[in-house]
Structure 1
Amino acid sequence: MPNEHPHSRLQLANRTAAWLLGGYLAALALIAFWPSPVDRPASGQLNGLLAALQRHGFPVWVDYSFVEGLANVLLFIPMGLLAAWLLPRGKWWQAIVVGLVASNLIEMGQLLFLGGRVASVHDIMVNTLGTIIGAGAVAAHRYNAELNKWVRTALGSFHDR
């Protein structure tokens, strides 16, 4: 790949990101619209594990609700990463809007169609936080790459004097 044109590498990365986003969205739909909460089978074991950890000094605020919220944050980071990657430079923030809208649609779908699920504003908030983290990582990466390019150009022109 050393002779490969950078533009074709970017096209391959974009195609890969699009496929990954499609697979991610399919998995997210399965998780979000499963008739019962996907964590229900493990909730007893998780509560037992947290109680045991807390007896040995683990912070009491790390409870089932905290772990569930953290899981939602982690679940939505890929949405922010992949959506921001596929958007043009400078438009990364639109990935956050996509995550917010997707989260609202999920919660609305759970409220209207899934009696065994509980729609919550908290879920919308933590899902959006995950999207912000993912999109922010892409924005930071792109900013860093542009800054490095600018510094190399500036140092190169300084060195050429």
Structure 2
Amino acid sequence: MIRKLIALVSLSLAASPASVLAQSQGQTSGTTGSKSTFSYSVQSTYGVTTSANSNPNFIVDNEAVLLLKQGSFVTNKFGDDSGNAKAVFTATPTGGGVDLQGITGKNLLLIDDGTMFRSSIRSVDPENYNPEYGGVASGSALATHTSTVVVEKSESTFSQSFATSF
């Protein structure tokens, strides 16, 4: 009789995991999403610059003065006269590009009296001239205008999940 009881207990234990699996419960929840962002900026810069390339055998003197008259203006806008604008992005395995339409810039610079650009290069006195340095020098003074368009497009995705079981 004891052997029969042990056999019944063994059988009961062997069947127990299957009944536990049949009774377990679980819950899974999650969220996903994506975000696409487009931004652009336009910057126009006007100014002056001077540069010099010299050795100790030369003295370089540069001067740049840019004076603008009242009524000068710089404008940049996104959208043509009808308000239309578009940006078409292309992607390739090695990079990408963008075709922008409708970005305009209207700039009117009226140069006023007193504007001047000057560059002067002269050799040092003969007693201070060093033949080891040679005789090459350059200098410049000029007005500059730079327009820069920066376009950025980014895409991001996210996924969040949570699972419980008991």
Shorter-chain TM band: under 0.3
Radius of gyration: which is bigger? 2
TM-score scaled by length of structure 1: 0.21
TM-score scaled by length of structure 2: 0.20
Greater RCO structure (CA 8 Å; 6+ sep): 2
Which structure dedicates a bigger proportion of its chain to strand? 2
Which structure dedicates a bigger proportion of its chain to helix? 1
